[in-house]
Amino acid sequence: MNKKTRLLWLISFVGLANLFSIFCLVSSAKAGQYQHCYLVQKTRTVEDAGYHPNAYDNGYREGAESMRKQEPYQPRTATGEFSRGFDDGYYSRPYTGQKNTVPNRKETYETSQCRTYYYNDKDPINKILDNVLDDFQRDLRRDWNQ
């Protein structure tokens, strides 16, 4: 059993324990639905506006486009390679390419994700728990594959 499978089983067990405690201990829960929230780790790409790997190209293209539209020159708020590329494109200077690059970096962060599960409150509790747990595990697998 690999780490991912063990973690999935652990999370499933915790989810089942939460479901069981909610169904047994909370009598004011709304009949017919259950909402479960859990932490999810996500990743985003952060790029430096002036020095990302395509900054000069983007600036050059935007500068040339501004010149074609005959827009008055306005300095860019993004500095560095983007600004240099914009100036070169705007003033029709030769394309010189990017000289300095700050690589994009990945940041991970945690956020909560909530799912609402519906059930028939006339069914026996075992069937309800099984159905909700199946839905929870399906959603968890879907989250792992994103």
Helix (H, G, I), strand (E, B) or coil at 112: strand
Distance between CA atoms of residues 128 and 118, nearest Å: 9
Beta strand residue intervals within 1-146, DSSP E: 33-46, 105-118
Closest CA to 18 of 40, 35, 41: 35
Distance between CA atoms of residues 114 and 34, nearest Å: 10
Q: What is the pLDDT along the chain (146 residues), one digit of tens a residue?
A: 566 565 555 555 555 555 555 555 444 444 677 787 888 888 998 877 777 788 899 999 999 999 999 999 988 888 888 999 999 999 999 999 888 878 888 999 998 888 787 777 777 888 878 877 888 788 778 766 65
Could you give the residue ranges of the DSSP H alpha helices within 26-146? 55-68, 80-90, 125-144
